[in-house]
Amino acid sequence: MASSLDAPRLRRTWPQRLLIWFNMLVVVGLLAAAGILGYGYEKFGQIPRVELGQALSPQEDTLGGAENYLIVGTDSAEGLDPNDPVRAQRGRVGGLRSDTIMILHVDPASETALLLSLPRDLFVPIAGTGGSARINSAINTGPERLIETVQEYFSIPINHYVQVDFAGFVSLVDTVDGVPVYFEYPTRDKKTGLNVPEAGCVELRGDQALAYVRSRAFEQQIDGRWRVDGTGDLGRVSRQQDFIKRALRRAISQGIRNPTKLDALINAGLDAVTVDSELSADDVVSLGNRFRSFNPDELVLYTLPVTDDQVGGAAVLRLVDSEAQPILDLFRGIDPGTLTESSVRVRVLNGSGVSDQATIVTTAVRLAGFGAADPADAPQQGVQRTEIHHPPGSVAAADLLNRWLVTPAVFVEDDQVVGGDVALVTGVDFAGLLETPRDEAPAAVTSTTSTSTTTTIAGETFPSSTTTTSTVIGAVPVEPVGTRPCG
């Protein structure tokens, strides 16, 4: 049976084109806020706004005309039914956390859209705190800190912000009459309330759709036994990204050519979504016109390569920096393979013992344009010669940093670098950074022996052996659980 996407293309009015764009933008936000800004300037003015001060990057400064939107699904339980399973989790009655975090990169010139999912358990330096934590905690004091954390750690400029809450998500999915998802086996998640008793194609309505996209304890009944999926946060990311495309198709087929449905989508979205105060109706109209023929299947999906780890007994995920850079460069507006300061993250470790040196040098490294992780003390003190530790195959990143150093460093090949592409271990000879880098990297003195046997994070030292590898390289699995076509 032909889908709505196979139907002959009709000429669309500007509200319809606008609907397509914000289907993509806000549905991505938490997967189904179809068309909320597509009905005109009057409706646009009713959208709740948030003032973000200087947190956002000016559009004219970055990305050559493209834009990055930070899309956040917040797990506030306010507005949900008192009996909703979400409220039963840990006695939650309110509060704000970023349950889903995505970066949408749109380039009007090429009419391309890229989507990067950030796992909520990713352990990162939290901007303005001097410490590290799971990234989903950064929003606790407001979206500004989350935006700054993303920009500082990933060196990705954020131009706009969109937020969707739980209750709004449920309403929006119900407004499009549910989203069809294929289940190979009976499926459940006791924590979120997901309950699919029979295999096959199921139209997930609001509450069950929410339970599905939030599921991390995903179980399937295979040969009479309930088996845990085991992919946790990463599996959830895959299912969320697949759900996005399904929701986009559903919203387009149900909303664009049906005025009654369009109006219902808009009204449902008004209470679901918050946008930054800098996003204007003119911006939306312009983007809607450029993306008038956008096909949901053309949305390119990315995930980050990560490894499992534990911090203080809690399970977290860590970024595999060397493998992540080509993906991150796409969202930085950098051609793949081009090495720039913004595409290199530096971890500064104080090896000289000079008070506060790692913190001071981290500030200088950021001013030079590098990404920077939290500073810390090196495992050994009294290091005589400054060292740049780099994983095998990352000499170019070490060379780029070395161009900025007043006193050239010794290179140490080290496969235990954590928190950055390279680690700068300051020695007694450290003399600071230059105002501008050398045209050519100084000749490197290389040591093949790494002295690092531990990793220091935010003042705590962990043996390197605590990290267990479970790497997912930059792309959603070809067919993650629950993502087969329906119909």
Mean pLDDT across 71-96: 52
Query: Is the pLDDT at 358 greater than 60, yes or no?
Result: yes
Give the end-to-end CA distance of the chain in Å, rounded to a whole number: 7
The pLDDT value recorded for residue 293 is: 59
Q: Which of 304, 330, 361 is the last residue of a domain?
A: 304
Indicate if 283 and 349 belong to the same structural domain.
Answer: no
Indicate if 135 and 241 belong to the same structural domain.
Answer: yes
Indicate if 406 and 293 belong to the same structural domain.
Answer: no
The pLDDT value recorded for residue 196 is: 94
Q: Which of 253, 269, 304 is the last residue of a domain?
A: 304
| Residue whose token pair is 């750690």 | 153
pLDDT digits (tens, 9 = 90+) for 287-314: 655 655 566 667 788 888 889 899 988 8
Query: Is the pLDDT at 472 greater than 70, yes or no?
Result: no
Indicate if 37 and 160 belong to the same structural domain.
Answer: yes
Higher pLDDT, 232 or 287: 232
Indicate which CATH number applies to the domain containing 144. Answer: 3.30.420.590
pLDDT range class, residue 468, cuts 50, 70, 90:
very low
Indicate if 278 and 328 belong to the same structural domain.
Answer: no
Range of the domain at 260: 4-172+234-304
373 falls within a domain: yes
449 falls within a domain: yes
Contact 25, 115 (CB under 8 A): no
pLDDT digits (tens, 9 = 90+) for 96-132: 566 678 898 888 777 778 889 898 899 999 998 888 9
Indicate if 13 and 105 belong to the same structural domain.
Answer: yes
151 falls within a domain: yes
- DSSP label at 208? H
487 falls within a domain: no
Query: Is the pLDDT at 233 greater than 70, yes or no?
Result: yes
> For the chain, what is the mean pLDDT?
74
Q: How many structural domains compose the chain?
A: 2
Alpha-carbon span 250 to 297, nearest angstrom: 12
Indicate if 299 and 362 belong to the same structural domain.
Answer: no
Indicate if 300 and 325 belong to the same structural domain.
Answer: no
The pLDDT value recorded for residue 133 is: 92
335 falls within a domain: yes
Query: Is the pLDDT at 29 greater than 60, yes or no?
Result: no
Mean pLDDT across 359-367: 92
CB atoms inside a 10 Å sphere around CB 359: 14
pLDDT digits (tens, 9 = 90+) for 408-466: 999 998 887 877 789 999 999 999 999 999 887 776 666 644 433 333 323 333 333 23
Indicate if 243 and 370 belong to the same structural domain.
Answer: no
Alpha-carbon span 472 to 118, nearest angstrom: 12
Indicate if 115 and 90 belong to the same structural domain.
Answer: yes
266-298 burial code (b ≥16 CB/10 A, e <16): bebbbbbbbbbeebebeebbebbebbbebebee
Mean pLDDT across 475-484: 43
At 338, list the tokens.
């081009």
Higher pLDDT, 235 or 157: 157
Query: Is the pLDDT at 208 greater than 80, yes or no?
Result: yes
Which range, of 56-65, 123-132, 211-220, 235-244, averages the lowest pLDDT? 56-65
Which range, of 76-85, 183-192, 440-449, 466-475, averages the lowest pLDDT? 466-475
Query: Is the pLDDT at 156 greater than 60, yes or no?
Result: yes
Query: Is the pLDDT at 149 greater than 90, yes or no?
Result: yes
Indicate if 151 and 279 belong to the same structural domain.
Answer: yes
Indicate if 57 and 124 belong to the same structural domain.
Answer: yes
Higher pLDDT, 28 or 272: 272
pLDDT digits (tens, 9 = 90+) for 42-70: 666 677 788 888 899 887 656 768 889 89
Q: Which of 304, 337, 362 is the last residue of a domain?
A: 304
The pLDDT value recorded for residue 36 is: 39
The pLDDT value recorded for residue 124 is: 92
The pLDDT value recorded for residue 292 is: 56
241 falls within a domain: yes
